[in-house]
Amino acid sequence: MRNILKLIVLTIVLSSCAVTNSHNFGDSLRSRSYVELKLDDIQYLGETEISYEYSRYLFVGTRVISINGERPNNSEKHYVEIPTSVIGNIWSIFEPNMKRALYKAYLEYPNADYIEITTTNVETHRMFLGSKIRKSATVKAYKYKYATK
């Protein structure tokens, strides 16, 4: 028993000695550079609606019913990340199915440079010992017009 305790303590001590390297590239030119955009520099491509529906049982377990009106294909999952603030990235951890639904906008507008979620909607249908929830969002796609000189 004592040998097992020594082994556990030794394992914890050795595993806590991990080295973490953090690299920050601080170029002085980057801090002085900026991009000036005007409304003429942005082209509106269109908008689409994305949604997913799931059910929650006993307020704990969940089951995805549909993504963009179709049964989810769990053999091949596609996720789309939207660059947001730090708080948005933390919140997006809890919404992986919205990232899967956003793949529809990626397929419809593959040449879009910027995708913006403009409106969101949550519909909840309460049932006995559970609920059925549908989350939808309107997504607009934009493309930057690059000037060539």
Domain ranges of the chain: 47-149
Task: Give CA–CA dist 74/136, Å, rounded.
Answer: 20
Better-predicted residue by pLDDT, 12 or 51? 51
Tell me if 104 sits within 8 A of 11, measured CB to CB: no
Structural Rg of the chain based on CA atoms = 23
pLDDT number for residue 57: 86
pLDDT number for residue 148: 55
pTM of this prediction exceeds 0.85: no
Render pLDDT for 114-131 as a digit per residue (tens, 0 to 9): 888 888 888 999 888 888
Highest mean pLDDT among 47-56, 88-97, 139-148: 47-56
pLDDT number for residue 26: 42
Q: What is the DSSP track for 44-70? A: EEEEEEEEEEEEEETTTEEEEEEETTB
Residue 21 binned pLDDT confidence (cut-offs 50, 70, 90)? very low
pLDDT number for residue 83: 65
Task: Give CA–CA dist 36/110, Å, rounded.
Answer: 24
Residue 24 binned pLDDT confidence (cut-offs 50, 70, 90)? very low
Contacts 24+ apart (CB under 8 A), 113-116: 113/142, 113/143, 113/144, 114/42, 114/141, 114/142, 114/143, 114/144, 115/80, 115/82, 115/139, 115/140, 115/141, 115/142, 116/140, 116/141, 116/142
Render pLDDT for 25-55 as a digit per residue (tens, 0 to 9): 344 444 556 667 788 888 899 999 999 999 9
Tell me if 112 sits within 8 A of 141, measured CB to CB: yes
pLDDT number for residue 56: 87
